[in-house]
Chain A
Amino acid sequence: MTKLTFVELKLLVREPGAMFSLLIPLFILVIFGSSIGPGDTMLLPMALAIAVGLVGLYMLPTTMATYRERGILRRLSSTPVRPASMLVVQLILQFVLAVVSCGLLVIFAGTVLGAHLPTRGPLIAVTFLLGTAAMFAIGLLIAALAPNGRAANGVGVLLYFPMAFLAGLMQPTDKMPVILARIGEYTPLGAFRQSMQDVWAGGAPDPLMLVVMAAYALVISIAAAKFFRWE
């Protein structure tokens, strides 16, 4: 298991997609970072949501579906190791990727941009965990249903844009039609961005938003487990 994790980590580092999912949110932060004031509570939560969304919708399903397509999971099941170990290792590594990506954003924003950073660590952690869980559940469902890696990739990208739009990652929600903004709050990515923004503004996230994310995580991962095939 240790060796599997280590080898998979090396493979993740060699994967250009991993670099992209680190760089794209950072790039967005740099581009828009110059125009924000020191008290801004909007931009960094947006960038964090983009980062988590990319890992959950793009990296995770593409990797898992490709591994199944290439028969790697089936090959594993012919060894004494269970293929579920691979699933666990991937979830851990993709989670680490999301943490690293968000960590880079926060450090960059805190130092170079001098942006406001919240002090309530536990609240951030809970929000981050729930948001990541919800996005990873969607990623797993894509991996479960997609026939191959390319399809998973395509579905991930296709889902990403409407979800990012509804979540207010493409423009501030107050510039959106009210009805869309309302709907957006109840999407996993929207609830994540909104909750992060609440924490950044110094308050606590709306418990309803946390429940929304937890519900997505639970229901969708049950569906993913039901539909998942090892081969």
Chain B
Amino acid sequence: MAVIEVTDLHKRYADLTVLDRVSFSVTEGEIFGILGPNGTGKTTAVECVEGLRRPDGGSIRVLGLDPVKDGRRLRERIGVQLQDTQLPENIKVWEALDLYASFYAKPRDWRELLEEWGLADKRTARFGKLSGGQKQRLFIALALVGSPTVAFLDELTTGLDPQARRATWELIKRVRASGVTVVLVSHFMDEVEELCDRVAVFDGGRVVAIDTPAGLVDGTDAEHHMRFTLMDGDLVELGDLPGVTGVSRNGNRVVVRGRGDFATAVTGRLARHHILVSDLRIDKRTLDDAFIALTGRSFGPTH
């Protein structure tokens, strides 16, 4: 069942088209990624869905509600973590949770959330004294305190160190496991690849592809490399195998280039001819390759 249905969403600021016929739908219980470089309309699109911005055209349905007309009823049922928001320096962790719980008709018990999100020992700490990771966990907990059906998490791991990012990913998986549909806005390929069931790739205000991360990678069909070292000098013909586009040899080092699943065919033939190889390595195709294939350019120097 689709919990979010976006059709032909348009948004302009003065002369600048920020969103151009954006359509996507999010299914109940999934982690849906919105991926793209900074400034491609991801956040604007999500803010339209949340009812924080008014679209200029197109239709949006979230849990069957119109974010503009039924804003209040919708906000009872969604949880939001916004990019670049803070809390007052001097608010204590428990006060923030208690306060935000009071905004909703049927909130969760915030004491449970404190435990769940590992903030129990920071209960009386002030927001300004928390570490980046602790702040992020508090923001997720605040997004969940209204016991939402859908949670929107925008650039959750920006500014966190690698360890804190990994920890946050585990937390997001837990959110999905608890039955909440998650919309994850991110400009990190690895994050989306790790977490998302499906991804909408944004570029220049448009959705250029929607698929599973694996589907996006497979669909791009970019050429990639397979490398190995021959144990005893001889090599059979590999260039005629399906998918292989080139073979080059330098001493005992062999590099086979190809598309699709050519590596299986290569290893099959090597095995049939009893050719022993070592150091076999297949370059993993990533979402980065998929993005370059989709848009004709790299993500750019965002970091």
Q: Is the CB of A80 within 8 A of B104?
A: yes
Whether A71 contacts B104 by the Cβ 8 Å rule is: no
Contacting residue for B82 out of A4, A14, A71, A80, CB 8 A: A71
Q: Are A72 and B105 in contact (CB under 8 A)?
A: no
**Contact-residue size bin, chain A (C-beta under 8 Å from the other chain):** 10 to 19
Instruction: Please determine whether A78 and B80 come into contact, CB atoms closer than 8 angstroms.
Output: yes
Residues of B within 8 A of A72 (CB): 85-88
Q: Within 8 Å CB of B232, what residues of A?
A: none
Classify chain B: how many residues form its interface, as a range: 20 to 34
Cα A74 to Cα B81 in complex, Å, equals 11
Q: In the bound complex, do residue A78 and residue B99 qualify as a contact, i.e. CB atoms below 8 Å apart? A: no
**Interface check B117, CB cutoff 8 A:** no
Question: Are B91 and A81 in contact, CB atoms less than 8 angstroms apart?
Answer: no
CA distance A61 to B51 in the complex (A): 27
Question: In the complex, A14 Cα to B100 Cα: how many Å?
Answer: 20
Contact indicator per residue, chain A 11-31, by CB within 8 Å of chain B (1) or not (0): 100110000000000000000
Question: Is A171's beta carbon under 8 Å from chain B?
Answer: no
Instruction: State how many angstroms separate the Cβ of B45 from the closest Cβ of chain A.
Output: 15
Contact assessment for A78 and B88 in the assembled complex, using a CB-CB cutoff below 8 Å? no
Q: Mark B79-101, 1 if CB is under 8 A from A, else 0.
A: 01010111110110001001110
| Contacting pair B50 A80 (CB below 8 A) | no
Shortest distance from the beta carbon of A89 to any chain B beta carbon, whole Å: 11
Q: Are A80 and B90 in contact (CB under 8 A)?
A: no
Q: Is the CB of B52 within 8 A of A80?
A: no
Smallest Cβ distance from A79 to chain B, in angstroms?
4
Residue in A11, A15, A79 whose CB lies within 8 Å of B100: A79
Chain B residue nearest to A10 in the complex (CB): B95
Contacts of B13-67 to chain A: CB distance below 8 A:
50-52
The verdict on B213 contacting chain A, using a C-beta distance below 8 Å, is: no
Please tell me if A7 contacts chain B, counting CB pairs below 8 Å.
Answer: yes
Contact A78 to B82, CB < 8 A, known contacts A3-B99, A3-B102, A7-B95: yes
Q: Chain B's nearest CB lies how many Å from the CB of A55?
A: 18
The reply to whether the CB of A67 lies closer than 8 angstroms to some CB of chain B is yes
Q: Closest 7 interchain pairs by CB? A: A71-B85, A70-B86, A78-B80, A3-B102, A14-B90, A79-B103, A81-B103
Q: Taking beta carbons and an 8 Å cutoff, which residues of B are in contact with A?
A: 50-52, 72, 75-76, 78, 80, 82, 84-88, 90-91, 95, 98-100, 102-105, 146
Additional 16 contacts, C-beta under 8 A, given A75-B85, A78-B80: A3-B102, A70-B86, A71-B84, A72-B86, A72-B87, A72-B88, A74-B52, A75-B80, A78-B51, A78-B78, A79-B100, A79-B103, A79-B104, A80-B76, A80-B104, A80-B146
